[in-house]
Amino acid sequence: MLKGKSLVAGEWIGSDRNFFNEPVSGTADEFSQGTPELVDRACEAAEQAFWKFGYSSRADRASFLREIAKQIELRGPDLTEMGMKETGLPEARLEGERGRTVAQMRLFADHIEAGDYLDRRHDVALPDRAPLPRPDLRLMQRPIGPVAVFGASNFPLAFSTAGGDTASALAAGCPVVVKGHPAHPGIADIIAQAFDAAIKSTGVHPGVFSQVLDGGRIVGETLVQHPLICAVGFTGSPAGGRALFDLAAARPSPIPFYGELGSTNPVFVLPNALAHRAEEIATSWVASLTLGAGQFCTNPSVCVVVDGKGADQFVAALAKALADAAPQTMLTDSITRAYQAGVDQWKTMPDVKALHASDNLQRAAGPNAFSVSASDWLSNTGLQDEVFGPAGLVVRAKDMSEAVEMARALEGQLTCTLQMDEDDIEAAAQLMPILERKAGRILANGFPTGVEVCDSMVHGGPYPASTNFGATSVGTLSIRRFLRPVCFQNMPGELLPDDIKHD
């Protein structure tokens, strides 16, 4: 059963204001609106918890993460049922995402037990060094304190209450205060119950996790500005993320804001690949473009082709594949409206040609594709704006020089992709140094939807893909966001953290 309230340091607390979810079908559920007072209470509890949790053993934190995973699995059927109701996502997708969510909890448990993330360094004392002796110096990574996490609309499990931001922060030793996403408060409620059970089972301080539900903005704005919050993890729209980023920077004591905001994830189809595999690449692009109604941050919404053999064949195959693609339910009414507005804007641009057009049917979105020349794309910065949904833009370059010029003009991206054959190596070599500066992940002969959770993954990139190009929100490297290096000089062993006493 739903609690319908915020979970603050082990207590389920309501308020005198309520909001409702927006189910695809069935009766809406009622939830208590969070307040600034609840945010303050959650942050105070997180700070209190940090003095124990931040200095707990890696083994204890690993056990806590594994217990969270176990408690989420126990609620699997309820999560799937609520997820289908609130988001319209199919059963298989939700079950797969739940598997990813618990797997990354366990991955971080394994990661901190191994200890490599601590980056321990030791320069032994050199008392006889001339002209000056060297002191004993030891360095390791330490947790920063309470972290604010914002749930994402498009991944109600893997990027939300129990998502990678929460998992990596807890693994680091940082208590978490989550701003529950209004698109799926029911899922957030059930996940919070799993955390509550895990806290009670392991005896962890209840302030280690709180979730404040919010049907608007007040909770998020209050959370980012709270003086006890030391960093923020966010996945969402460029407008919302930039507003919160500015609030974090404007604080008397600014804090890092790790925001993933927007990306068009361009695919460059090089000449020989286009000549030999035009239909195959077009069909595969459509499959990636329309996957999950295009509601992935890695959705490859821009495809660059160099005019020549295969270009017209590519466009024809693209239009045919899109004509066969059925409308899909989108996550929320507001996302559906925003998608339609983005498509309508493309339709009004004089240099943009429709290849396949369809309209939304209430919350169901149909796929769309448009074509524009590279020269017109270069002169219209609005074509770099993300349209969140199953809409693609084919940019036709007259030659490789123009494709390279377009690559140079790209904003920061989560991903860039090269579709290439063996004879395209020289052309690809022209693009690689540029794409390295534009994206966090570069692919060859694949499509970026589907982000592996592992040690080597980078899910981030230069702005506006993310607000911190040196960080990732997926993979074990994401723990670095919630740690900072501390050097201990000539420190007696009795005062050193246990993890650095022996090397």
Which positions are catalytic? Answer: 260, 297
Q: Which residues, listed in sequence order, are joined to residue 368 by a DSSP beta bridge?
A: 391
Count Cβ atoms below 10 Å from residue 203 Cβ, excluding itself.
9
Kindly state the DSSP code that residue 309 receives in the 8-state scheme.
T
Greatest pairwise CA separation for the chain in angstroms = 79
State the Cα–Cα distance between residues 105 and 116, nearest whole angstrom: 17
Whose tokens are 């339609």? That residue is 340
Query: Assign residue 450 a region: left if phi > 0, alpha if psi is -120 to 50, beta otherwise?
Result: left
Whose tokens are 């082990």? That residue is 10
Instruction: Please name the residues in contact with 320: beta carbons below 8 A apart, sequence gap of 6 or more.
Output: none
The answer to whether 180 and 188 have CB atoms below 8 angstroms apart is: yes
Count Cβ atoms below 10 Å from residue 216 Cβ, excluding itself.
12
* 3-state SS record for 190-227: HHHHHHHHHHHHHCCCHHHEEEEECCCCHHHHHHHHCC
Kindly state the DSSP code that residue 258 receives in the 8-state scheme.
E
Q: Which amino acid appears at position 364 of this protein?
A: A
Nearest to 231 by CA among 485, 488, 37, 479: 479
State the Cα–Cα distance between residues 200 and 220, nearest whole angstrom: 27
Instruction: Please name the residues in contact with 435: beta carbons below 8 A apart, sequence gap of 6 or more.
Output: 407, 416, 418, 442
Nearest to 413 by CA among 185, 199, 261: 261
The answer to whether 269 and 257 have CB atoms below 8 angstroms apart is: no
Sign of CA dihedral 73, 79, 84, 86: negative
> How far, in Å, are 171, 242, 255, 333, 467 from residue 246 at the CA level?
27, 6, 10, 27, 11
Torsions phi, psi for 254 (to 5 deg): -60, 150
User: Alpha helices of 251-310 — where are they, by DSSP H?
Assistant: 271-290
Strand 302-306 to 328-329 pairing: unpaired
The answer to whether 492 and 484 have CB atoms below 8 angstroms apart is: no
Instruction: Please name the residues in contact with 433: beta carbons below 8 A apart, sequence gap of 6 or more.
Output: none
Task: Give the angle subtended at the CA of 304 by the CAs of 301 and 306, to the nearest 5°.
Answer: 160
Whose tokens are 């609620």? That residue is 75
State the Cα–Cα distance between residues 340 and 260, nearest whole angstrom: 22
